Structure 1
Amino acid sequence: MKTIASSAAPDRLYHPALWPLDPKRAHVNHGSFGAVPLPVLAEQQRWRERMEANPTGFFRRELQPALEEARRAACAFLGSDAEDLTFVQNSTAGAGAVLAGFPLAAGDEILVTDHVYGAVLLGARKAAARAGASVVTVPVALGASDEAMVAALASGVTPRTRLAVVDHVASATAQVFPVRRIVASLHALGVAVLVDGAHAPGLLPVDLGALGADFWVGNFHKWPCAPRGSAGLYVAERWRDAVGSFPVSWREQEGFPYSFLQPGTVDSSAWLAVPAALELFGAWGWDEVRERNGALAAHGQRLVAQAVGGDVSGMPGVGEGVGAAGLAMRLVPLPQVPADQAVADSLRDRMADEFGVETVINVWGGYTLLRVSAQLYNDQSDYERLADAVRAVV
């Protein structure tokens, strides 16, 4: 991986003017909510104006053909066949649709790891309770090797395990799971797999055809920088009759993927603007974007670690493994801060209020973890400012 060096060499992928972000703040938490570039916002507004210019014509004649074109662009980006992927509002909504429809019986088990996203875990518990099933959590060490992660998931399987929920990139820990290997391992044990890829699109190369998962969800509003409210849900052919939309769509009788695309009178402009976001980053080159952002995030990680005396050698993305290269979301442990989310939130807010630095601090597994993100609107000065803020409050 390239490293960020102190030099006068221009960074051709540094484009802060394309984002409407407050320049008085350092925005180093792209991973949580994303940020939408001005050209993509303009495309979304163009669709809204078409909708308002002739609502009847738009909803009756224009919307569904336009959604189909946008959906196929998303399929091509993710390596999915045209019949395998639909639009949903976000990854949590997509995972909820899967969990609500997955066939469970009394005594069955849903397997998750301790990296699972909170809202997805709540959805799994709700689905299990409704069926008289249970949720089983297996621990996976922070920074574990690919082999250890595969083994950990396999070790949690029992004769009652029906579904496993596995992160592609975990939200709280930025840990990249070797999902292709995990899917193959769990399929060999007779377990279906839902991959929570909320952070995966754009952050990592994604090839759903090669992945082989039963279900996959991923957000377009994070690393591809599409408008919020845009995500993809992949369902393998054998499961399509089980997964339905809520609310029930006017295209229900057509089945997946079309049954998700006409849920009444809603603003679908975020979905329609997805191709514009993909084209914007595609013109720069996804590999180049990932390499640049990964190097910048690693640089920021080192700066913050030096500021607080944190050891990042065992953190995800440092060393070998599927997440080692080009990961634009990194962790710095804060050993001086108690593993208390209320304390972490207070420090996060203080950095925002007193230093104008927007970041995120998570508590996981006894660690207090500051997560550093990098996107094309960031440069080295953002992480120098972050390091100063962390040094001051910690």
Structure 2
Amino acid sequence: MREEFLLDPSVTFLNHGSFGATPRAVFERYQEWQLELERQPVLFLARRLDGLLAEARTALAGYVGADPDDLVFVPNATAGVNVAAWPLGLQAGDEVLSTDLEYGAVDLTWEHVCGDLGARYVRTPIRLPVTSADEIVETIWAGVTPRTRALFLSHHTSTTALTLPVAELCRRAREAGIRTIVDGAHVPGQVPLNLRDLDVDYYAGNCHKWLCAPKGAGFLYVRRELQRDVHPLLVSWGYEGDDPSFVSRHEKQGTRDSSAYLTVPEAIDWQREHDWDAVRTRCHELARRARNELGLEPLTPDSCEFFAQMVTLRLPEDAPEDLKDRLYDDYRIEIPVSEHGEDRFIRASFQGYNDAADLERLRDALAALL
């Protein structure tokens, strides 16, 4: 399947998780949308775009288990979290509860929002390695106080590649009257998702990562009764009329290229045509092999409950400081190495274009470098 993608064949690419990669056929459809726009910009933007976006939203909504009118396109999950952070009605002394496993960019979002409003962003430490979903739930829930107004969680964490038990936490939060915001950047295309079943208030996801759509395609889902208070970061033509809709406010934001959004249905269809359930199963098995064969400490039990197509392992204390650079410069392996507190981790991503030979190249390189 490697030939279906545009990736440099000289690189062992084990970092799909950072930015994704788009199949050749999907990318070509993306370029076709751009060409259609340039052939007749007025026809495309002023007369056709609303309908085209509605069709794309309908396809995406069916894929993630939502009503098309309950989600809007955004450039990425971080943008969606930024939109969701402001309408919570936070006041001085309120708390937004989270964990110390969240993506750094959205940590900065919450620190900024809470700082402006006099609220607190509380990051509950999660002990690694984790041993059970119940342990994670109880650790996070122990951080709830009478001042907790919102719970913010990653559905699947970035650095640690850990699937969190967000369904149970959303259920508890809803019973307690606490708003829930979930960062699903790594979920669509990698972890099964049904937003109706999840019963979350706000959910931001990416289509350009594991769903393999072009870069700049994400979405924000908002529970229907909360949508009136949710506003985009840019106010534009979507506010025309006496009662502009949630979708209108977010989709009509001046002149921009929506080709990445319009290509999302193509990405969904492409994965279905290539039996992506079987691909995900094969990739999870590669991640399991990496967990069990690389000789490094895993962060989770050996179960798809905790990891899917990415796996993160703890590096030994004496691992070279320049390990990431040496893996790339000496072995042409693209893979992230990161810090978390006093620990250093390596995260391997396995997508449809990866195979056992990629894992073996990583194993041999680490054996030589560690």
Normalised TM-score (structure 2): 0.95
Quote how far apart the aligned CAs of 1:366 are: 2.9
Matched residue of 1:389: which SS?
A: helix
**1: CA distance between counterparts of 2:358 and 2:266?**
27
Structure 2 counterpart of 1:389:
365
Structure 1 counterpart of 2:234:
247
Quote how far apart the aligned CAs of 1:304 are: 2.5
1:105-149 per-residue CA deviation (whole Å, 9 max, x = no partner) reads 111111110111111111111111111111111112232411111
RMSD: 1.5
**2: CA distance between counterparts of 1:67 and 1:103?**
30
Matched residue of 1:188: which SS?
A: helix
Q: Report percent identity of matched pairs.
A: 37
1:332-372 per-residue CA deviation (whole Å, 9 max, x = no partner) reads 2211346xxxx75x321221112110000121243211101
Structure 2 counterpart of 1:123:
109
The residue identity in structure 1 corresponding to 2:170 is: V
Query: Is there any run of 5+ residues in structure 1 with no aligned partner, and where?
Result: 1-14
Structure 1 counterpart of 2:314:
333
The residue identity in structure 1 corresponding to 2:305 is: V
**1: CA distance between counterparts of 2:19 and 2:148?**
33
**2: CA distance between counterparts of 1:187 and 1:200?**
22
Matched residue of 1:257: which SS?
A: helix
Structure 1 counterpart of 2:88:
102
**2: CA distance between counterparts of 1:145 and 1:321?**
12
Is contact 1:84-1:234 (8 Å) kept?
yes
Which residue, 336, 341, 364 being the options, matches 1:360?
336
**2: CA distance between counterparts of 1:227 and 1:144?**
36
Is contact 2:280-2:352 (8 Å) kept?
no
**2: CA distance between counterparts of 1:100 and 1:357?**
40
Structure 2 counterpart of 1:301:
291
Structure 1 counterpart of 2:246:
256
Query: Is there any run of 5+ residues in structure 2 with no aligned partner, and where?
Result: none
Which residue, 314, 319, 323 being the options, matches 2:302?
319
Structure 2 counterpart of 1:275:
265
Is contact 1:337-1:368 (8 Å) kept?
no
Check if 1:147 corresponds to 2:134. yes
Cα 1:144/1:214, change in 2 over 3 Å: farther
1:241-267 per-residue CA deviation (whole Å, 9 max, x = no partner) reads 222112224223522123211211111
Check if 1:370 corresponds to 2:356. no
After superposition, residues 171-320 of structure 1 pair within 5 angstroms as 171-253=158-240, 254-305=244-295, 310-312=296-298, 315-316=299-300, 318-320=301-303
The residue identity in structure 2 corresponding to 1:205 is: P
**2: CA distance between counterparts of 1:352 and 1:319?**
28
Quote how far apart the aligned CAs of 1:320 are: 4.6
**2: CA distance between counterparts of 1:52 and 1:258?**
23
Quote how far apart the aligned CAs of 1:168 are: 0.3
Normalised TM-score (structure 1): 0.89
Is contact 2:159-2:312 (8 Å) kept?
no
1:361-389 per-residue CA deviation (whole Å, 9 max, x = no partner) reads 12124321110111111111111111222
After superposition, residues 155-174 of structure 1 pair within 5 angstroms as 155-174=142-161
